[in-house]
Chains A and B, each alone.
Chain A
Amino acid sequence: MTELLDFLRSPWPWYVGGPLIGLTVPLLLWLGNKSFGISSNLRHACAILLPERVRPGFFRYDWRRERWNLVFAGGLILGGFVAGALLADPEPARLSAAGAQSIRDLGVELRPGLVPAELTDLGSPGVWLLLALSGLLVGFGTRYGGGCTSGHAITGLSTLQAPSLIATVSFFVGGILSANFLLPLFMAVIR
């Protein structure tokens, strides 16, 4: 019994997780010809939340037709609860030696969990700024770019779409720049 629990709590190697992620593309096509993408939910949420009078044209559409995606996002929350709370990995992520060293250099301790305590400590105004700025860029950028990691990197590349290749390369250029240069600056201030 404890062995089973240990197994369920252990993380999966990439060659198990990757194919299971990829299967989401044909699964959603079969379920109802849906192109898999999560960031559209941010648009649906805006369409739902904004009062009629102040709603820009971009949010004037029938979001009810996209209910499936909101329900899918609800499923993500459940999945996060089951795998990330009930069956949380009791060990820290098994990073490479270089990865672990970089984390320490940022002033972050490698502990169990998905996000380090240093980045979720709301007692620090710098953390608020980091989370807010990141959210703002993610929300603006995903709509401007027409998708996120799921919509472009997974679905778009899987279905051989050139725009998604451009988008995915751009995601990585942006991510490499911010993780290597912007985040260390932020962390130096936060610490």
Chain B
Amino acid sequence: MTSAPNISGVHPQSTSTTRAATGLLAYLLAGLYFGAVLVKSEAASWYRIQEMFRFEAFHMFGLIGSAVLTGMVTTMLLRRSGLKSRDGQTIQVTAKDKGWRRYVFGGLTFGVGWGLAGVCPGPIFVLLGAGVWPILIVLAFALLGTYLYGVLKDRLPH
């Protein structure tokens, strides 16, 4: 197809920019949804995280268990339905890299950090929105930790 003549001041560039912006807006709303759910379900609550790691209540286990089960069933239905993504692509799940070392060592490191202050990456952002400013320290050092991983990556077992 030859490109349409560029008339009446509508640049193809600007329509694709508009599309990109509305596309991004959908992710903003998805984030708002997820953030609000993390607060209302108390998944972002330090108290609930402590209760979970001490096995003193079912709440967090029910929360994570039913989340995984729901995600599993709905993702399977979505893929089986043959429905395309919003931009017309076949739905596909990106596979995680094979191996176990990085998942054990990295997972343990993250877990110790998670249990210590009771925040994982999602709640870092949610708590900032809720006005818990000291979480900025966690965020700053999480960025430093990410940087350190980038520096040391090649020397670590993966």
> Which A residues lie within 8 Å of B74 (CB)?
22-23, 25-26
> Which B residues lie within 8 Å of A2 (CB)?
none
Interface centre among B23, B35, B43, B128 (most CB of A within 10 A): B35
> Which B residues lie within 8 Å of A73 (CB)?
31, 125
A17 near B78 with CB under 8 A, answer no
| Contact A33:B85 (CB < 8 A) given known A11-B40, A20-B41, A158-B72 | yes
A163 near B96 with CB under 8 A, answer yes
> Which A residues lie within 8 Å of B146 (CB)?
42-43, 45-46, 139-140, 142-143
B114 near A178 with CB under 8 A, answer yes
| Contact A72:B27 (CB < 8 A) given known A77-B126, A115-B132 | yes
> Which B residues lie within 8 Å of A20 (CB)?
37, 41
| Contact A145:B53 (CB < 8 A) given known A30-B85, A75-B35 | no
> Which B residues lie within 8 Å of A96 (CB)?
51, 56-57
B30 near A175 with CB under 8 A, answer no
Q: Tell me, in angstroms, the Cα distance from A144 to B119 when the chains sit together.
A: 18
The distance from the CB of A180 to the nearest CB of chain B, in whole angstroms, is 6
A84 near B126 with CB under 8 A, answer yes
The distance from the CB of A18 to the nearest CB of chain B, in whole angstroms, is 3
B51 near A95 with CB under 8 A, answer yes
The distance from the CB of A107 to the nearest CB of chain B, in whole angstroms, is 13
| Contact A19:B115 (CB < 8 A) given known A12-B41, A31-B86, A131-B137 | no
Q: CB-defined interface of A47-80 with B at 8 Å, one 1/0 digit per residue?
A: 0011000001111000000011101111111111
Count of A-B residue pairs with CB < 8 Å:
515
B53 near A56 with CB under 8 A, answer no
> Which B residues lie within 8 Å of A138 (CB)?
110, 113-114, 119-121, 124, 138, 142, 145
Q: CB-defined interface of A12-45 with B at 8 Å, one 1/0 digit per residue?
A: 1011111111111111111111110011011101
Interface centre among B63, B68, B111 (most CB of A within 10 A): B111
Interface centre among B23, B77, B131, B150 (most CB of A within 10 A): B150
B72 near A139 with CB under 8 A, answer no
Q: Tell me, in angstroms, the Cα distance from A166 to B28 when the chains sit together.
A: 31
| A189: interface (CB < 8 Å) | no
Q: Tell me, in angstroms, the Cα distance from A146 to B51 when the chains sit together.
A: 26
Interface of B toward A, CB cutoff 8 Å? 23-24, 26-54, 56-60, 62-72, 74-75, 77-78, 83, 85-87, 89, 91-100, 102-135, 137-151, 153, 156
Between-chain CB contacts (< 8 Å), 7 pairs = A96-B56, A99-B56, A116-B47, A149-B122, A158-B67, A176-B115, A179-B115
Interface of A toward B, CB cutoff 8 Å? 11-12, 14-35, 38-39, 41-43, 45-46, 49-50, 56-59, 67-69, 71-85, 88, 92-93, 95-96, 98-99, 102-103, 106, 110, 113-116, 119-120, 122, 127-128, 130-150, 152-161, 163-164, 166-180, 182-183, 186
